[in-house]
């Protein structure tokens, strides 16, 4: 009776399944539900007149049927696993679209791995081959599911550069499916984001554990990296930097490159201080306790995009050594230099260490380019032709350019010292002093090169006194620029004192070349005896000397009226020095003339200029003709 009652119950279940199931598949699903709900409804009994695939959830019920199978236990296990796994592998629907299916599939994979572990190769070779073939199918499907999880819209985490959302994973899925998971750059780089929700990370970790256990850890890491690479590449692209061939970059104008370098510096900071650490953290979570596969996955995901960013630095560093490029190259160098300490811990493992090495190599390439620019600056100074003179002996454009350039460069003194010290590994060329690795020696050498160039330029002036005015102007400008900036600290006080002494020597040389002969005419020692006797001859001699003096003065005023001393203090000092040399001698000469014999009685007739007028004329010099009489 009891058996008859069970048969009636099973018949009722079959009738329900047949009535509710519109198709055979639906009916099979209903039967599997009953089988999982009540152990009395085994699939063997329910499916006596139909073929029903065994759902993993119904595996305990099906075990009874397998127990009666005459085949060895391991063979029966593999056959059961094959039937369970094949159902998932053949499905066109993603397994991870249903949590129960995902759990069942992972359990089946675990059982398969345990079974393979129990098999001995020699006696169980056919079974082992069959199990490994089944495992290969599992791995392929796991890879497919891993890629699908990385692609699904719900995996779009907070945008790069913005804090992670406090909402749930479901909240993250709301809104437009086309939302780009990268935002505009920010100023605060001390930020790590979660690019995937925790649920997706858990799913990926579950897949990774099985693939690593199966011996496919590298394949899993590489599949993850290749799939994740698209997100990383898109994130970098949205920072405003697109990969360009080296030829295209080198063909760009410097103005275009300057703008691109400014964007590149921001992009590098965003990429290496936010995006890369976030991807590293994500890999460490997906491949938790699975070294070294987290590092392999991270390198596969991030290194191509990072290499694309760094390639721009290599191309710019390989460009012309034009001095105008120095300041942007310093910006790029400092960006990479400041990143390296942040990357030391983050990129310390074998695969990711190569990425840090790429950053360090980019920094070295930029440093070499900066050193090359200083060599080119030296060549530029040496090649500047000594053809045309500067009117009035004023400041030469090369002096203004070099001093302003070095003054601006020394605002980055620490960086330049670091760059030059880096070159210390290269022995200096004794025949080429500019190869010295020390920044202070490098700049001092440039000053010497500039001095030599200015000396050559001074020689093309037809009037020797004007060449001294030219040297004074340029020497004084160099001194002032050094004293008013970091350049002076770099060159040192000794250099400044030597430079000031040199300017004084040029000033004295100018006075000797211009005014010594003027003062010599007024000397009284030659005609002292005649003056003492107050003879007519003495008066005549003094009148002749006065005429020569007036002629000298007028020639000087005529020739030097357009000469200029640019520095106001130096101009004042030079006027005072000339006045101190000429005026006392002229005043004394006029006094003696008034005492001299007959000439003295009519001295005023011969005095063309009073002492005050001579002083006024001297004070009108060195202004470039702005106050000519």
pTM above 0.85, yes or no: no
E-only strand ranges, 219-374 = none
478-482 contacts: CB < 8 A, separation 24 or more? Answer: 478/399, 478/403, 478/447, 478/450, 479/503, 480/567, 481/403, 481/404, 481/406, 481/407, 482/403
Mean pLDDT score, 2-26: 60
**How confident is residue 15, by pLDDT bands cut at 50, 70 and 90?**
low
| pLDDT score, position 54 | 42
Q: Where are the domains of the chain?
A: 200-368, 378-425+436-510, 522-620
**How confident is residue 427, by pLDDT bands cut at 50, 70 and 90?**
low
Q: What tokens appear for 117 in the block? A: 């572990």
DSSP 8-state secondary structure symbol assigned to residue 153:
G
Residue 182 pLDDT exceeds 80 = no
- Residue 557 CB-density burial (10 A; 0-12 exposed, 13-18 middle, 19+ buried): middle
| pLDDT score, position 244 | 87
Share of residues in the chain with pLDDT > 90 (%): 58
| pLDDT score, position 621 | 92
**How confident is residue 534, by pLDDT bands cut at 50, 70 and 90?**
low
Q: Are 254 and 324 in contact (CB under 8 A)?
A: yes
Q: What tokens appear for 367 in the block? A: 């440093």
| pLDDT score, position 436 | 46
Q: What tokens appear for 443 in the block? A: 């700049």
C-alpha dist (Å) from residue 372 to 376, 423, 528: 6, 11, 67
Task: Using alpha carbons, select from 525, 516, 506 the residue that is nearest to residue 549.
Answer: 516
pLDDT tens for 461-470 read 999 999 999 9
pLDDT tens for 111-165 read 999 988 887 666 678 888 898 999 999 999 999 999 999 987 644 432 223 233 3
**How confident is residue 243, by pLDDT bands cut at 50, 70 and 90?**
confident
For 522-620, CATH number out of 1.10.569.10, 3.40.50.740, 1.20.1280.170, 3.30.360.10 equals: 1.20.1280.170
């Amino acid at each position: 009776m009891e058996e008859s009652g069970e048969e009636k119950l099973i018949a009722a279940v079959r009738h329900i399944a047949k009535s509710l199931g519109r198709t055979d598949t639906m009916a099979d699903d209903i039967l599997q539900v009953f089988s999982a709900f009540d152990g009395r409804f085994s699939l063997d009994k329910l499916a006596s007149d139909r073929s029903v695939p065994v759902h993993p959830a119904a595996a305990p019920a099906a075990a009874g049927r397998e127990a009666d199978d005459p085949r060895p236990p391991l063979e029966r296990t593999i056959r059961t696993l094959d039937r369970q796994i094949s159902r998932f592998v053949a499905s066109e629907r993603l397994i991870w679209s249903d949590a129960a299916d995902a759990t069942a599939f992972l359990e089946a994979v675990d059982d398969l791995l345990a079974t393979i572990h129990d098999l001995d190769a020699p006696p169980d070779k056919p079974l082992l081959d069959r199990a490994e073939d089944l495992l290969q199918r599992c791995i392929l499907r796991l890879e497919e599911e891993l890629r699908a999880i990385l692609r699904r819209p719900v995996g779009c985490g907070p945008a790069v550069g913005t804090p992670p959302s406090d909402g749930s994973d479901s909240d993250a899925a709301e809104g437009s499916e086309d939302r780009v998971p990268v935002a505009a750059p920010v100023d605060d780089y001390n930020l790590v984001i979660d690019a995937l929700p925790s649920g997706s990370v858990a799913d990926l970790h579950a897949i990774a554990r099985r693939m690593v256990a199966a011996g496919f850890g590298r394949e899993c890491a590489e599949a993850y990296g290749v799939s994740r690479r698209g997100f990383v590449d898109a994130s970098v692209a949205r920072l405003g930097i697109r990969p360009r061939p080296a030829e295209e970059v080198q063909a760009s104008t410097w103005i275009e490159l300057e703008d691109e370098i400014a964007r590149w510096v921001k992009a590098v900071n965003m990429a290496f201080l936010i995006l890369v650490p976030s991807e590293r953290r994500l890999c460490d979570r997906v491949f938790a306790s699975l070294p070294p596969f987290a590092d392999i996955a991270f390198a596969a995901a991030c290194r191509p995009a990072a290499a694309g960013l760094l390639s721009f630095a290599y191309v710019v560093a390989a460009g012309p050594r034009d001095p105008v490029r120095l300041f942007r190259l310093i910006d790029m160098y400092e960006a990479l230099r400041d990143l390296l300490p942040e990357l030391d811990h983050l990129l310390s493992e074998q695969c990711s260490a190569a990425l840090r090495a790429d950053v360090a190599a980019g920094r070295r390439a930029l440093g070499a380019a900066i050193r090359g620019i200083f060599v080119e600056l030296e060549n530029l100074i040496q090649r500047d032709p000594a053809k045309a003179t500067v009117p009035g002996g004023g400041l030469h454009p090369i002096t203004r350019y070099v001093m302003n350039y070095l003054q601006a460069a020394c605002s980055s003194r620490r960086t330049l010292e670091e760059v030059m010290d880096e070159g210390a590994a290269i022995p200096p060329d004794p025949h080429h002093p500019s190869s010295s690795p020390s920044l202070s020696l490098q700049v001092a050498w440039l000053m010497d090169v500039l001095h030599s160039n200015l000396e050559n330029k001074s020689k093309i002036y037809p009037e020797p006194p004007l060449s001294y005015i030219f040297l004074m102007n340029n020497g004084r400008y160099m001194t002032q620029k050094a004293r008013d900036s970091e350049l002076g600290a770099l060159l040192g006080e000794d250099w400044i004192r030597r430079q000031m002494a040199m300017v004084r020597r040029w000033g004295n040389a100018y006075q000797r070349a211009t005014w010594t002969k003027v003062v010599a005419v007024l000397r009284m020692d030659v005609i002292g005896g005649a003056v003492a006797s107050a003879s007519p001859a003495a008066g005549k001699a003094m009148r002749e000397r006065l005429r020569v003096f007036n002629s000298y003065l007028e020639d000087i005023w005529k020739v030097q009226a357009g000469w200029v001393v640019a520095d106001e203090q130096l101009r004042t000092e030079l006027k005072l020095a000339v006045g101190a040399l000429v005026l006392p001698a002229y005043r004394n000469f006029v006094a003696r003339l008034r005492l001299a014999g007959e000439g003295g009685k009519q001295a005023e007739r011969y005095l063309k200029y009073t002492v005050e007028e001579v002083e006024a004329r001297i004070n009108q010099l060195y202004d470039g003709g702005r106050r000519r009489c």
